[in-house]
Amino acid sequence: MVAAPPYNDSMKAFLLLAALPRAAHDLWIEPTTFFPALGQVVGAKLRVGQDLLGDPLPRSTPLINELIAVDSASRRALIGREGADPAGIARIDNAGLTIIGYHSKPSVAELPAEKFNAYLKEEGLRVPPATKSPVKDSFLRCAKTLIQSGAGGADRALGFPLELVAEKNPCALTGDLPVRLTYQGKPLAGALVVAFNKRNPDEKQSLRSDAQGRVQFRVDGAGMWLVKAVHIVPAGADWTSYWASLTFERKTAK
Amino acid sequence: MKSLWLCALSLTAHEIGTTRVVAIIGEQYKIEVTTDAASLDEKLAQFGSFEDAYPRRMKIFFDGEAAQLAIARTGDVIVMTGAVPPGTKTFSLKNGWNFSTYALTVNGVTDWVDGGELSKPYSLEARAKSDVVRQYLWLGFTHIVPLGLDHVLFVLGLYLLSGKWRSVLWQVSAFTLAHTITLALSISGIIAVRAEIVEPLIAVSIAYVAVENILHKELKAWRIALVFGFGLLHGMGFAGVLQELGLPRGEYLTALLSFNIGVEFGQLAVVAGAFALVGWRWSEREWYRPRIVVPASVAIACIAVYWTVERVLA
């Protein structure tokens, strides 16, 4: 059993306030339901924020590289109307696990060096800090969510540049959850991978991936979980960063 | 149309959320935040009650000094009001409730601001008259060409009725006079009609004019009266846009007149374009009506009917 965190609610509120705002934000997919019936239509809400508190990101065609639903039998684009939230909808056609993925085109951020360095530190990125402002960072989102209809099924690689793959189905899991991080299809070692539950965002599990790109998380709490990782690579004098996220929900605590 | 106007400001792809902040700063200030209610409620569940928590993360500054906010929320709209300290030179705002990029409009100037970041300081000092004239002329013109496709089609509809210049002159004059009246009355707050009512009716007016072009080919007095009536409607539409842009304090009337003249130039540009393209050479030809006026009017009518349905459902 995990001990209760050593602070009361008012302290928790204070910590949350102190934690905001961070230099860079997560993007994740929040489906309208994680447990649809077969044949049900599920909306994929894109959210930008932190601690799984976010703002809606409406469908924006110039940003979308791929917004897809993948199940055991098919891979198809989500349909949606420009500017709408949820950004896309998909019908659940096959029992098991349906994966919704959002792979964005790059957005360019120009950051002052201090802010860029703060974000390197926050995301555990081991590259030399910037000394000159502004720093140009093209960032790409690689977000996935796991939707369970019926039982069984497994997550799989969708082919995103940076990708988190749950190696066991987290919706019906009794042990630890092994997650694998790949960059351009190959295991990414030594990267910081963070997991937390929306109901308890202060309790983050932060682990470095091993040589196989693997980490093991304890996903014991009920509710929505986010697993995330960031990878940054030099692009000439500038940077390109990749933001992977994986969301899923557990109906009950273990 | 609103979203089109916003898109035009975005040069690169950004993660732009749904929040909009419109600040009108005169002797009093009014700041209206439109945001996703469900997301705000989720955040408030973590941070405390609205009255208590909201002002802590939503800060406005006059000359760098944080101001006290009187706030009120109705669903997804939050309104903050108060008095601006006399002699204030700049206004800035920091919205800590959003993570995504949002649109901040201060007295008609719109910028994208990243959530949690302090905006640039906006000067509140009186601007040179020539500067205001230039800005609002341009805003008025671009509101017709290229942003106001609905107004373009309406003016085209007026032009197409008859090849005679008297027909165009009478109709455009009636239209102009009418929309000037309602624009002024709406902006000064004497009349207020909701956009949900005005916008579908504008679409209906376009369809009507186009259909009439198919049925008639001469200018009748009642057509002028109708165009005048439709002009009253379009004026309310212009007022909605101008209210969103905001009017600079001190140069209220200058801005209003310049915007209206800009709209006028936009309309004349449409008429001149249509004349140069088809009217100049062909309006006397026998096939001008069956080959140009009728098909173009049918197309305009179809688009307008589609808009009517879209705007009623929106």
CATH of the domain at B69: 2.60.40
How many CA atoms within 13 Å lie on the side-chain side of B5?
Answer: 21
Whether residue B263 lies inside any domain: the answer is yes
Residue B2, pLDDT > 50, answer: no
A184 and chain B: CB distance < 8 Å anywhere? no
pLDDT digits (tens, 9 = 90+) for A135-194: 999 999 999 999 999 999 999 999 999 999 999 999 878 889 999 999 999 999 999 999
Size (chain A), residues: 254
Q: What are phi and psi of A186, to 5 degrees?
A: -110, 150
Residues B88 and B178 in one domain: no
Boundaries of domain holding B31: 13-123
Whether residue B3 lies inside any domain: the answer is no
pLDDT at A12: 40
Confidence of residue B220 (pLDDT cuts 50, 70, 90): confident
Residues B106 and B145 in one domain: no
Helices (H), A125-230: none
Residues B150 and B38 in one domain: no
Residues B48 and B135 in one domain: no
Whether residue B5 lies inside any domain: the answer is no
Task: Return the domain boundaries, chain A.
Answer: 24-248
Size (chain B), residues: 314
More confident call, B289 vs A214 = A214
Confidence of residue A253 (pLDDT cuts 50, 70, 90): low
Residues B148 and B95 in one domain: no
Confidence of residue B218 (pLDDT cuts 50, 70, 90): confident
Q: Which of B88, B123, B158 corresponds to the end of one domain?
A: B123
Neighbours of A104 (CB within 10 A): 24
Residues B185 and B75 in one domain: no
Whether residue B291 lies inside any domain: the answer is yes
CA B89-B95-B97 angle, to 5 degrees, is 165
Q: Which of B79, B99, B123 corresponds to the end of one domain?
A: B123
* Contact check, Cβ <8 Å, A108/B98: no
pLDDT at B144: 85
Residues of A in contact with B96 (CB under 8 A): 20-21
Confidence of residue A13 (pLDDT cuts 50, 70, 90): very low
Whether residue B190 lies inside any domain: the answer is yes
Count how many domains chain B has. 2
Residue given tokens 């979308």 in the structure block? A64
pLDDT digits (tens, 9 = 90+) for A25-41: 899 999 999 999 999 99
pLDDT at B87: 86
Whether residue B170 lies inside any domain: the answer is yes
- Please state, rounded to an integer, the average pLDDT across all residues of chain B: 85
Residues B164 and B268 in one domain: yes
C-alpha B241: how far from chain center: 2
Cα gap B81→B61, rounded to integer Å? 13
Residues B162 and B239 in one domain: yes
Three-state SS at A248: strand
Nearest to B36 among A17, A51, A56 (CB): A56
Residues B162 and B297 in one domain: yes
The answer to whether A202 and A5 are in contact (CB under 8 A) is: yes
Q: Which of B75, B102, B123 corresponds to the end of one domain?
A: B123
Taking only residues 80 to 119 of chain A, the set having a beta carbon closer than 8 angstroms to any beta carbon of chain B reads 83, 85, 105-108
Residues B74 and B179 in one domain: no
pLDDT digits (tens, 9 = 90+) for B133-179: 998 899 889 888 887 888 899 999 888 887 677 888 888 889 989 99
Residues B84 and B185 in one domain: no
Residues B198 and B296 in one domain: yes
Whether residue B6 lies inside any domain: the answer is no
Interface size between A and B, measured as CB pairs under 8 A? 70
ipTM score here?
Answer: 0.80
Picking from A55, A115, A136, A224 by the largest number of B CB atoms within 10 A of its own CB, the best residue to mutate is A55
Whether residue B1 lies inside any domain: the answer is no
More confident call, B101 vs B41 = B41
